[in-house]
Amino acid sequence: MAGLTLKNIQKIYPNGYHAVKDLNIDIKDGEFVSLVGPSGCGKTTTLRMIAGLESISGGELWIGDKLANNVAPKDRGIAMVFQSYALFPHMTVAANIGFGLKIKKVEKKIINEKIEWALDLLDLNGLGDRKPSQLSGGQRQRVALGRALVLDPEVLLLDEPLSNLDAKLRIKMRTELKRIHKQLKSTIIYVTHDQAEAMTLSDRIVVMKKGELMQIGSPSEVYNKPANKFVAGFIGSPPMNFIEGELIKDGENYIFKYNGNVYKLPSYLKDVIKEKIKGKEVVLGVRPEDFEISLQPIENAIEGMSIVTETLGSDDYVAVEVNKKLLSVRIEPDSNFPLDRKVYLTPKEEKFHIFNK
């Protein structure tokens, strides 16, 4: 088993594009780490450099206690499942799954056992004799996963391995992956667009933007203590609400001035302000579930108008217009919230965030 260290890793493609910039990540042996970030931020590039499929333009990659920059892909103890699955079209499902073991000259009997194990685990029973072209996208994706799992890799790289599955199967596979990780104890680096997946599966989440690391932390850290406005807006659904305004010093504390209105900021924010706010142009951030909403006037509150309600299955939200922008506020389900009314928003205890604009 092996941990992994990325030290000032850079990727500059031959056309000059700087796809990964100075990436520093320390992954512990057996850890499950997710890479998240908008399309094009460098997630696949990072995985490919770790796997050895793409050269590293700068920095050091350590696998266990070995500098691996120039180690051949097959000697890295790494298996990767690609975003595009890359199955061999002329081989059956079973042959695809067993391919890596055959290359390693593993005994036929053991290969067959492993194939059976994978087919069963991935709900592919009875499909072993088919060709990839005779499978659905989701089934192909599971074959690709099986092909990597049978190798018992020390490090498993998964590039959106569940993206082609329907919602129900996705959730089942999510649970399976968690179980597989517990069982195999491999180090897993997992790329996903699905935040719920990243939150439920990971020990830690790496948030990237345009090739740069924005934050690395436990799911609860990136959710509750986002390092900056980008992470705050990226993690969480519906996303965090932002209100732009200006800071005014008021004795020991601060007042937030927005569009002619003022709001006295709770005093716990003053340490955060001292620590990371530069200048007076700021953005206040509050998650939809972190507002108290009242129809009765409240002395120090953010005032707005209730516009529409929206239901997302288990939760209901009301859109509140503040500063000509709509904020999303979670409300009691089935509460028949009155619309076109003046409402008063206050934050729950310790739940306001503040960022540089």
Ligand X SMILES: Nc1ncnc2c1ncn2[C@@H]1O[C@H](COP(=O)(O)OP(=O)(O)OP(=O)(O)O)[C@@H](O)[C@H]1O
Site residues, Mg ion (CB under 5 A): 44
Do residues 160 and 141 make contact, with C-beta atoms less than 8 angstroms apart?
Answer: no
Cα distances from 110 to residues 20, 43, 130, 257, 278, in angstroms, run 40, 34, 21, 69, 62
Residue 73 contacts ligand X per CB under 6 A: no
Minimum CB separation of residue 244 from Mg ion in Å reads 32
For residues 340 and 203, give the distance between their C-alpha atoms in angstroms, rounded to a whole number.
Answer: 43
Q: Which of the choices Mg ion, ligand X, none does residue 164 contact, using the CB cut-off of 5 to 8 A by kind?
A: none
Between residue 262 and residue 281, which ones bind ligand X under the rule CB under 6 A?
none
* Ranges of H-type helices in the chain: 43-51, 93-103, 108-121, 137-149, 167-184, 195-201, 219-224, 229-234, 269-276
Minimum CB separation of residue 207 from ligand X in Å reads 12
Q: Name the residue among 180, 225, 183 with its Cα closest to residue 207.
A: 225
Give SS3 for 70. Answer: coil
Residue 41 contacts ligand X per CB under 6 A: yes
Report the residue closest to Mg ion, judged by CB. 44
Do residues 321 and 304 make contact, with C-beta atoms less than 8 angstroms apart?
Answer: yes
User: Cβ closer to ligand X: 137 or 338?
Assistant: 137
User: Cβ closer to Mg ion: 44 or 195?
Assistant: 44
Instruction: Give the range of 14-22, 245-253, 271-279, 312-320 binding ligand X by CB under 6 A.
Output: 14-22
Q: What secondary structure, in 3-state letters, does 82-129 show?
A: CCCCCCCCCCCHHHHHHHHHHHCCCCHHHHHHHHHHHHHHCCCCCCCC
Residue 19 contacts ligand X per CB under 6 A: yes
Q: Which of the choices Mg ion, ligand X, none does residue 19 contact, using the CB cut-off of 5 to 8 A by kind?
A: ligand X
User: Cβ closer to Mg ion: 44 or 202?
Assistant: 44
Residue 34 contacts ligand X per CB under 6 A: no
Site string for ligand X, 338-357 (x = CB under 6 A): --------------------
User: Cβ closer to ligand X: 83 or 139?
Assistant: 83
The kind and range of the H/E element at 25 are strand 18-27
Minimum CB separation of residue 10 from ligand X in Å reads 12
Do residues 243 and 287 make contact, with C-beta atoms less than 8 angstroms apart?
Answer: no
Give SS3 for 20. Answer: strand
Q: Is 199 exposed, middle or buried (0-12, 13-18, 19+ CB in 10 A)?
A: buried
User: Cβ closer to ligand X: 57 or 261?
Assistant: 57
Minimum CB separation of residue 44 from Mg ion in Å reads 3
Minimum CB separation of residue 214 from ligand X in Å reads 13
List residues near ligand X by CB under 6 A.
Answer: 13, 15, 17, 19, 39-45, 83
